[in-house]
Every structure is written in structure tokens, then in C-alpha cells.
Amino acid sequence: METYEAVISRVEVREYSSEKIPDNVKLKILEAARMSPTGLNLQHWRFILVEDKENLKKLAELSTSGKWVAGADFAIIVLTNPKYPFHLIDAGRAIQNMQLVGWSEGVGSCIYTGFKEREMRKEFNIPSELTVAAVVGFGCPKKKLVGRKNRRPLSELAYSEKYGEKFRLI
Ligand SMILES: Cc1cc2nc3c(=O)[nH]c(=O)nc-3n(C[C@H](O)[C@H](O)[C@H](O)COP(=O)(O)O)c2cc1C
């Protein structure tokens, strides 16, 4: 799938079929994270691959905004080092790359950011120097999702030269 097509068509997927994602696709998704850029090339992120159904259920229990992760084929916990002011940008870039590569392989995914952090740390052995930036659940979409993106037009979002100036290209 061409990059632009992947960006334009991808939607968040929270309902998954029972189809298993092959290991080579999981690896490709994690490679997409590893190849992502970080500020000063610090590569401070760490990724925990969660595949065990019991652990996925545990993630759901400890989540406040991602209960759907219980139905995912696998999830990736994204950790970053908060001592770098740009750490969440680094997390976002890795997450977006993983989600786009997944999408181009027919794998749906969704991010969530609401969790009981203290319990998550304990359950998944997360060291105190790292923050849980987000969790991303992955799986084969249960149904085909098309045309449900709701985005503001560029005329509301973009300006030319200075804030508030009409955007020139449309
Ligand atoms: C930073 C960030 C945090 C998000 N947190 C959650 C979350 O906690 N739970 C959830 O179900 N979706 C979460 N989402 C998904 C958004 O709701 C979703 O990306 C947005 O509604 C657009 O969805 P669409 O691309 O399918 O149109 C989050 C997305 C982003 C970018």
C-alpha cells in the first residue's frame, strides 16, 4: 500500500476477529517502531509485546479507556524516558509508524492512553525511570471500516505565512 493511501485510509480499529497475526507481521510492526526517529537519536523507547490472552485481559482490567484491548490479538506497551522533553513526540512517531505498517498489512490497531499506571508498572515489571506513553492493541479488523473519518477541512486548520492568514493552496 502506498504511504499516502495508508495515511488517508487508516482508521482506529477497536474490534478484532479471532484471526491470528503471523509472527513475521508482528516483527515487521516492531521493526517499524525501531526504525522510527528519536530526538538526538536517543532511542530511549522500549516496547513490550503482549500476546498472552491472560496478559491482554490484565491490560484491559488496568485500562480506563482501552477495555477493548482484551479482544486484540496482541498489544504493544510503549515506554519512554520522561527526562527528555520530547519523549512523547518520539513515542508518537514510533506508534504512528507501527500503526501504518500494520494497516498496510491488513492489521487494524488502536492506541489508548488511559491506564492505572501504578498497577501497570507492577504487573508488567516496568522500571521507575520509564513512563508508559501508550498502549497499542492490534488485530484483524472484525468488519471492514471505510469512510468514517471525521476531520476538519484544511481551510480551518492551515494558514499561509502567519497565523490567521487564509491558506493559499485551496
Ligand atoms: C494521543 C491519542 C490518545 C488516544 N487515546 C485513546 C484512548 O485512550 N482510548 C481509545 O479508545 N482511543 C484513543 N485514541 C484514539 C482516538 O480516539 C482516534 O485516533 C480518533 O478518534 C480518530 O479516529 P479515526 O482515525 O478512526 O477517525 C487516542 C488517539 C490519540 C492520537
pLDDT tens for each residue of 115-131: 999 999 999 999 999 99
Taking residues 164-170, report their average pLDDT: 96
Ligand 1 atom closest to Cα of residue 68: 11
Determine the distance separating the centroid of ligand 1 and the alpha carbon of 65, expressed in angstroms: 10
Cα separation of 89 and 157, whole Å?
20
The topology (CATH level 3) of 3-143 is: NADH Oxidase (3.40.109)
Cell of 49: 509485546
E strand spans, the chain:
46-50, 74-80, 108-112, 131-139
* pLDDT score of 145 more than 90: no
CB 80 within 8 A of CB 115: no
Mutate which of 62, 88, 111 for ligand 1? The one with the most ligand atoms within 8 Å of its CB, which is 111
pLDDT at 144: 82
pLDDT at 147: 59
Q: Could you tell me the CA-to-CA distances from 31 to 3, 12, 71 in Å, in that order? A: 17, 20, 23
Mutate which of 63, 88, 99, 113 for ligand 1? The one with the most ligand atoms within 8 Å of its CB, which is 113
Cα separation of 165 and 100, whole Å?
32
Determine the distance separating the centroid of ligand 1 and the alpha carbon of 11, expressed in angstroms: 9
Taking residues 96-113, report their average pLDDT: 97
The per-residue pLDDT for range 40-85, each reduced to its tens digit, is 999 999 999 999 999 999 999 999 999 999 999 999 999 999 999 9
pLDDT at 148: 73
Beta bridge partners of 60: none
Residue nearest atom 8 in ligand 1 by C-alpha distance = 112
Determine the distance separating the centroid of ligand 1 and the alpha carbon of 81, expressed in angstroms: 22
| Domain limits, the chain | 3-143
Using pLDDT thresholds of 50, 70 and 90, give the confidence band for residue 37.
very high
